[in-house]
Chain A
Amino acid sequence: MSEDSEARVNTYGFRRDVQLAGGCRFRSGALVLAGVIGVVLLTIDPPRHIVSAAPQADKLKESKFIAEGEKLFAPSCGNAYCHGTSGVGGGAPRLRGKGLEAAYLFKTISNGIPGTAMLSFKSELSEEQIWKLVAFVMSDVKSTSDAKPEASVAGKPSPSTKASAETAASSSITGSAQAGKALFFDSTQSRSCHHCHSLQGEGTSIGPDLSKVESRSPRVLFLSIILPHDIKDPRYATVRLTLRSGDRIVGIKKEEDAESIRVYDTTELPAVLRTIQKTDVVKVESANESVMPKDYASIYTMKQFLDLVTFLKSSESPVTLKDLLE
């Protein structure tokens, strides 16, 4: 604990029933509540009628039923803080490949798991909806569109069997927005994107904010990460300063006034915003190339690119390998 949390104790901590578990009061309250609910829930056995309402086992395998479950899954369970878009890679435990049973799933989704972030959904969803979620999770949380060949292929000249196998394979290799986000913001990696880009209000805006690139095609995004490219916006031109001391600084100019020039030195990341007195500068060069690292192709795996692009696209359906190749 640091002085501040210690301080927090003292600010809020001396009051009755103080919750130390958070710096945020609302959160603390929520936790106490969650705790109380949890204890109550633990003591409740699953009501019998729920079990008796279980649909036929066949129903749980019906593709339409599963597909409806998938729709429900995305917003309620698949977000980054929970189980991840496809039941993996989220903040909560993975669901894919767990082989969980129907009755257990139904009970857990209905009641939540006390003491964890797993919320109760029974006030939010009907029993039928919860069964649909159960069906989707039991289908191993795989997108129903993954299984069947691309619909768009139908209009095009009929591909050879081999090509359609490739198509099927390449569209089943998908990215995860959650994993992409983790890569984007990985502060242990000196090359990670957040050192220069912001997205949805997080990260550092040395390069362009990437919140608006979601409209670009996956392929364009992929290429703008792996290939060196000319810059379109002169704000992001690379500057090279040679100083009187002999030091050289490479980076992006932030601003300039009569006496000084402020440059994001990107020699090492995180970039350093340096204020250089003009009297210390011997030479300023500007280049139409990007400071963005040029070696991503040898740093990330294909899967990681898919993750990154899926994250950049902030699309509900994951970007597939096929999308990158087209």
Chain B
Amino acid sequence: MIDSRQSQLKRVSLVAIALVVTLAACDQARAQDVNSELTGERLVNARKEPQNWATYFGAYDAWRYSSLDQIRADNVKNLVSVWAFQTGKVEGGLNATPLVVDGIMYLIASENRVFALNAETGERLWTYNYKFPRDLITPYGKFNRGLAVGYGLVFFGTMDNHVVALNASTGKEVWNVEVEDVKKCGCNINGAPFIVKDKVIVGGTGGDSAHRGYISAFNAKTGRLAWRFYTIPGPGEPGHETWPETEIWKYGGGSTWLTGSYDPAQNLIFWGIGNPSSDFNNSVRPGLNLYTDCIVAIDADTGKLKWYYQEIPHDAWDFDSAYEPVLMDITRNGKTEKLLVHPNKSGFVWVLDRVTGKFVNAWPYVDTITWVKSIDKDGALIGRNEPEVGKQSLICPNWGGGRSWNHSSYSPRTGLLYNDGIEWCANVTVIPQEAREGRPFVGGNVDIKPPPDGNIRAHLDAFDPVTGQKKWSVPFKYPILSSLLVTGGDVLFTGDVEGHFLAFDAKTGKQLWSFNTGSGHRGGPITYSVRGRQYVAVPSGLGSIFVSGMPATWPEAANFQTGSAVFVFALPERK
């Protein structure tokens, strides 16, 4: 009897122990699934977790680089496709950069459709379809460039100018805040938010409308507005005097349509501010027009301006400074400089000291530049060639940019900045226009032209990021509209508009591998690893409206197929 009771007790306690162990294991598994431990603090150290691609640019420095090195220049030719995921709607293509955190991929497609996928298998875990008003006018498109993940939530901006947070493990909405009435502002959000500390930082479009741009920070957990930085200072604020005494400052543009970078050591967020509007008619806004076409450094806690550097004062070309501010520490002549390297739409890369905001250098990444003769050693624009009312002016590069918004990448291993370029021009005509809140406010029109020295053409290049010295260059027939990705295996990945996913030797520019995904590339390829296996994922889906216009220059582009899918590759599994 006793024996049996003892053994019974023993059995019970064994069961109890087993239960505790199981529960603990479950907890662990859940914690990993929900990634609720992905905090702002962990994001600061994202480089220590190369298995993840946890922020839009891969890490706060905006390098679009991963140290993963299983896939290398000498074995990339062996890549095989592992899985593909179709988002189900091709309109708008696929412009996003997916994120991967702890084995789960988060993806946003056009019309704000969000997916969570098993990053090893492509199995869909949940889908979220954003409900938007049927009569919505989307002044800046239905596509989306990416999302942010952290605190167990997934964040994105919407076509109708809301910011939404979803539960990362269920895909259910947790909070939703309207940033500004889309009907009033004519603006929306299609850039990726990013998390800094306990806040989610979001920009917005509207720079070609009569609108005043801003960056907003929301409390990640509650959605409550924490701060807002207006890119055009209001009356009484320093910088307001760079606008005329009219109401134009309220409509002067300065949108924040892409994503910024962050320097934890200084607690500063860097953001590229868009063009002033009306874009081409700068006579309505005499003055420098701060902080349009600036890099701004703002305090991550308060949203207060620390410094700014204006690349293009009083812009007349729509060369906004919205592209990625890439942060790098570079040692030259025995001195380590904290730099910010910034490709601009105008065909130049600006290099700034990111502590002081001082000009270091500006160098051209395209050959055809006529909007300015040169930029002197102090950063002054010499020989501005401004389009004038009632006159056609040939301006190079075309307002579409020396390159489009798709991002560059930087490898600390090669020390090179990888960037694409387009040689093209446009005849610009200025048409004075009245500002009406939220209505288009461009003030001109353009007619795309080949450069004076030949045909419209494109190229992919590797540069010394500070001097601009070109290390190698690969010619392309069509503009590259995919972001670049460079890895610890010295492989540079990108895709072309015809659908080829391409791998290059990051040191030499030699093409190593190619895979036809069937539709052109407009998003951001990433790399990650799960259980020791490195994967490369690429969004495919040219669908962007950009392409609809290509046939006028490249008639065959009329037949380029649209799509919206993610393709994932890895080296064959060793058996």
Contact residues of A with B, CB < 8 Å? 1-15, 18-24, 27, 31-32, 35, 81, 91-92, 115-117, 185, 187-188, 190, 194, 201-204, 247, 260, 265, 267-275
Contacts and interface: CB of A to CB of B under 8 A. Distances in A.
B208 A23 contact: yes
Given A19-B445, A23-B208, A187-B185, A274 B222 contact: yes
Given A7-B545, A267-B224, A272-B175, 13 more contacts: A1-B274, A2-B322, A5-B442, A6-B404, A7-B548, A10-B400, A13-B445, A14-B551, A14-B552, A35-B431, A116-B434, A187-B181, A202-B181
User: Considering residues B140, B190, B322, B443, which has the most beta carbons from chain A within 10 angstroms of its beta carbon?
Assistant: B140
A7 B439 contact: no
B180 interface: yes
Contacts of B553: 14
A309 to B, nearest CB: 21
Contact of A273 (B95, B177, B275): B177
B552 A3 contact: no
12 contacts: A2-B274, A2-B405, A7-B141, A10-B545, A12-B549, A24-B440, A31-B431, A202-B184, A265-B223, A270-B178, A274-B223, A275-B174
A30 to B, nearest CB: 11
B151 interface: no
A12 B177 CA distance: 33
B546 interface: yes
Contact of B550 (A8, A10, A188, A201): A10
B546 A10 contact: yes
Interface string B137-167: 0011100000000000000000000000000
A117 B547 CA distance: 33
Considering the complex of A and B, which 8 residue pairs feature the smallest CB-CB distances, nearest first? Answer: A10-B549, A14-B552, A7-B545, A272-B223, A22-B440, A268-B224, A4-B141, A117-B434
Nearest to B207: A2
User: Considering residues A2, A204, A268, A275, which has the most beta carbons from chain B within 10 angstroms of its beta carbon?
Assistant: A2
Contacts of A5: 140, 208, 442
Interface in B165-203: 172-181, 183-186, 190
B141 A269 contact: no
Contacts of A185: 181, 184
Contacts of B434: 91-92, 116-117
B446 interface: yes
B324 interface: no
A4 B205 contact: yes
Contacts of B209: 23
A247 B222 contact: yes
Contacts of B124: none
B234 interface: yes
A9 B443 CA distance: 14
A221 B255 CA distance: 37
B426 to A, nearest CB: 9
A106 B170 CA distance: 67
A7 B223 CA distance: 32
Contacts of B175: 265, 272-275
B174 A1 contact: no
A302 B446 CA distance: 48
B311 interface: no
A32 B274 CA distance: 26
B37 interface: no
